Structure 1
């Protein structure tokens, strides 16, 4: 009987999960339009592109990003529980300044029923930027996201967005070696797939469109060596080729255990280490120096080094693997130890065991319960321990929902992702990998489902939404591609100003660690151009060649005049 109840419970759970997914994409509805309704709600459906497709040829793809010139289509349901009709208007507004509204549609929500409004926005009439879609309902207020009961998943709870794109970010990067301190050479994201499906090919398209140049992915030992001594790298060869076509370099993590050796635990025996080294050698032989190679992931925590972390065991494995990679491919770049956090103690003990002699750079994952700028002090301590070895940040991010990690809203995530990269450039850290490319699911309780820069992709029809962080990265990379950091300007406590020089007039990126700060910046001209985090452009007065402005947690880019 207990088994029967378990089967019934599992069936109910599966049905509930399916219901939530269907409702997230608008297949399920509490009430059909026109039916009587006794409570207020409002929700948006992304219909997709209603013009010739400039990005994708799939007319059924539900997306919130459009190349300038496409026509974006939306549907919004408004439930009116009142006995009178209500006026409703729909506008768009730049995410950088929601007060600048542009009305795009209006109508009437019928009394006591659900009314569906359909409208289109011709993006050829808009400057490239991230826009909010806003509804104003008479007597109920202003809305820019779904109301209850349509907020049970992350996909449903995101703000209504219209992302208008310019051309993709273009910058050619070297095919070998560590990235240089040039935007966006060392900027990348984590993914969780190998041989890409058609949907995942679109993921790679949008990774490249935003200007990312690196993609980090596990190179799973147990998938490559399913039979002792027999290696199948076909999936990784397909992924590498897909990345190469888009100008993306892989950062492959040689990990984890293999059931053929040491019971599937991290290799501790001589046989296990030799087998792991053979696997690493084969990977380097097949893929080569186009990839960067990292030895394991977060061996300083028990989640990834069971049953307990052991510095000596890890270093022995890392030496064997790094030696094998270098023997097969002397120009390959090897990173280690990929610690969770900036674990100076673990890395210092590894250094005493001569790990640094075998690797090209020290990799860390600077997750923290605070702002990105607090990593600057950690980098100083780490550099003292690694004696001048290059430091890279091979994983770092902030979830937008969940029960663990430093959870922030989607707007703060956008600020922090850009500031992670800027802080690392300021600190001379040439490689930054953002965790994660896309949400791994729909749950608002599981943090792992909410690290993404884009939404979880729901099928039937396919939904593919960018979050504000994706647009912030795209905007930064588009404006700074080819530029290098050229020093920090001192503008007062809590204010960061980083000068960039490159193919054109110098630029200064400014932001405040928290709150707002008033700053004065000498610019040498009476007017300057400024670009905000989500693409809004302005021309500002600078009387006497001094720009006075308020800066916040959202970085802005000031373009300095060309010197005669």
Structure 2
């Protein structure tokens, strides 16, 4: 499944069941969960796993596979040093051994090009080089997720991966945040500079020219880097969100729902990205002007936002479907086609980045089902008198068009386009 969520759970909190049930209601198959080093190793070489044992078991009971994020050092270890890297590798090995068969995907640190890491790219390369093999030593089925970088700093990634054997890792992950820009738009450098400075220092990309690329252009650039290094690895987006807050970088709750769907569909349409993990399941607080708080599909009181409904409907329609083609793909209109071979059914996802455009869609004899991002339904019958097609307006909020295999859509040009 390509659909994941950042659980952002404290393993000791009493309501784990409630949160994993919410993930199940969303149709999520994957959750990214911190396995916080300083919580587990509270004295040198002494690991306390009990709280995480319960979390892992609760995830298993709800059919949710975990991606474990191994990060955040205790005060007595510095992972940017050789000795600290060895201590981290022992911790990673212990986690992989304990949870083998229940947690088989492990992420090596979080945003090491940002404020969560004090070392250099070379220091992180050393950490990855020792931790990846340590995990595989005790679990041959384990997969190692590398980089997990803030934004998409390809120059930084190159400095790391040139020093690491491709055999040490299986997947490359990044966090292509771009608030409040839409996923189809370039991200302005000044906005990124101000955004990052407002929440933690040190995550500013070193390659400024990359910043003004669109999300898909950044993804293509990262893919080319991996090809040059003879390391063609799958890409995962392990964090992405649009914050529904009153900060200048926030968006409305309705727009959060729209951009969530648009990003996921673009990621699947790229053919390069295997999984996307939204940050996060639940708001991290209640401060309306704080971009770190209002990130969830649920509010802090666990009431669902519009984005919760949009996510659940997206997974219901697209889970298990295969990408077929990009019928129309930019710059202002996007129509992506998915297919269900068992049902012999196509699903078109369509939107326009400008307020209104029109698509003409062929109408099969079985008719068409139209849905908005929340699942509101409309049925259109086949009408051969009207040449077997139907004209539908599309705007910034995506629509789903479901019908028999062979659906086609053409853009109806508007004056001024």
Normalising to structure 2: TM-score of the pair?
A: 0.83
5 Å-filtered alignment, 1:403-422, equals 403=247, 406-422=249-265
Classify 1:484/1:221 alpha carbon distance in 2 versus 1 (closer, same or farther; 3 Å): same
After TM superposition, give the deviation of residue 524 of structure 1 in Å. Answer: 3.5
5 Å-filtered alignment, 1:384-399, equals 384-387=224-227, 388-399=232-243
Match status 1:513 vs 2:323: no
5 Å-filtered alignment, 1:141-540, equals 185-195=1-11, 197-262=13-78, 267-291=79-103, 292-301=105-114, 303-306=115-118, 309-354=119-164, 356-369=166-179, 370-373=181-184, 374-387=214-227, 388-403=232-247, 406-428=249-271, 429-457=273-301, 464-490=302-328, 493-502=331-340, 503-504=342-343, 505-525=345-365, 527-540=367-380
Classify 1:359/1:246 alpha carbon distance in 2 versus 1 (closer, same or farther; 3 Å): same
* SS of residue in 2 equivalent to 1:226: strand
Provide Cα deviations, 1:114-147, integer angstroms capped at 9, x if missing partner.
xxxxxxxxxxxxxxxxxxxxxxxxxxxxxxxxxx
CA separation in 2, counterparts of 1:371 and 1:546? 31
* SS of residue in 2 equivalent to 1:293: strand
CA separation in 2, counterparts of 1:215 and 1:430? 14
CA separation in 2, counterparts of 1:224 and 1:561? 52
Runs of 4+ in 1 over 6 A off after TM superposition: none
* SS of residue in 2 equivalent to 1:438: coil
- Counterpart contact for 2:128–2:164, Cα < 8 Å: no
CA separation in 1, counterparts of 2:108 and 2:354? 36
Provide Cα deviations, 1:292-346, integer angstroms capped at 9, x if missing partner.
2110111111x1112xx51000110111111111111111111110110011111
After TM superposition, give the deviation of residue 390 of structure 1 in Å. Answer: 1.2
* SS of residue in 2 equivalent to 1:205: helix
What is the root-mean-square deviation in Å for CA atoms of aligned residues?
1.8
* SS of residue in 1 equivalent to 2:245: coil
After TM superposition, give the deviation of residue 385 of structure 1 in Å. Answer: 0.4
- Counterpart contact for 1:527–1:541, Cα < 8 Å: yes
- Counterpart contact for 1:410–1:469, Cα < 8 Å: yes
- Counterpart contact for 1:366–1:395, Cα < 8 Å: yes
What residue is the counterpart of 2:187 in the other structure? none
Gap runs ≥5 in structure 2: 185-213, 407-417
The total of aligned residue pairs comes to 365
5 Å-filtered alignment, 1:51-70, equals none
CA separation in 1, counterparts of 2:70 and 2:334? 37
After TM superposition, give the deviation of residue 455 of structure 1 in Å. Answer: 0.8
CA separation in 2, counterparts of 1:208 and 1:414? 18
Provide Cα deviations, 1:173-231, integer angstroms capped at 9, x if missing partner.
xxxxxxxxxxxx12111122243644332121011111011111211111111111111
Gap runs ≥5 in structure 1: 1-184, 458-463
After TM superposition, give the deviation of residue 357 of structure 1 in Å. Answer: 3.4
Match status 1:548 vs 2:401: no
Greater Rg by CA: 1
What residue is the counterpart of 2:202 in the other structure? none
* SS of residue in 1 equivalent to 2:348: strand
